[in-house]
């Protein structure tokens, strides 16, 4: 898994920070990743999951019905 670094602002978060890992709608490539990940011994961070800091978390939670790239475009536009 990726360490807790906000996908929007790149803020590194520690264990006492109120960050959260969110899972987004899976696209075709995400489904391929899931198939690979189901093999014994596979490790990695799902491409449809991302960490968010408290500043960006609420808005990101409202976008989980989208794919991660779609959500990030909106978040960066709104917070950019």
pLDDT classification of 68: cutoffs 50, 70, 90:
very high
**Is residue 12 domain-resident?**
no
Alpha-carbon distance 37 to 1, whole Å? 12
Mean pLDDT, rounded, of the chain:
94
**Domain ranges, residue 29:** 20-79
**Is residue 65 domain-resident?**
yes
pLDDT classification of 16: cutoffs 50, 70, 90:
confident
pTM: 0.90
The 10s digit of each residue's pLDDT in 24-46 is 999 999 999 999 999 988 999 99
Contact, 26 vs 34, CB < 8 A? yes
To 5 degrees, how large is the angle CA 24–CA 26–CA 30?
Answer: 120
Alpha-carbon distance 37 to 41, whole Å? 8
pLDDT classification of 14: cutoffs 50, 70, 90:
confident
Work out how many domains the chain is built from and give that number.
Answer: 1
HSE-CB for 30 with a 13 A CA cutoff:
14
**Is residue 41 domain-resident?**
yes
**Is residue 29 domain-resident?**
yes
**Is residue 51 domain-resident?**
yes
């Amino acid at each position: 898994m990726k360490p807790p670094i906000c996908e929007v602002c790149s803020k590194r978060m520690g264990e006492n920070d109120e960050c959260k890992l969110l899972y987004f709608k899976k696209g075709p490539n995400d489904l391929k990743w899931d198939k690979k990940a189901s093999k014994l011994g596979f490790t990695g961070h799902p491409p449809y999951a991302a960490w968010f800091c408290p500043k960006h978390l609420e808005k990101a939670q409202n976008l989980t019905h989208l794919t991660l790239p779609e959500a990030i475009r909106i978040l960066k536009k709104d917070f950019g």
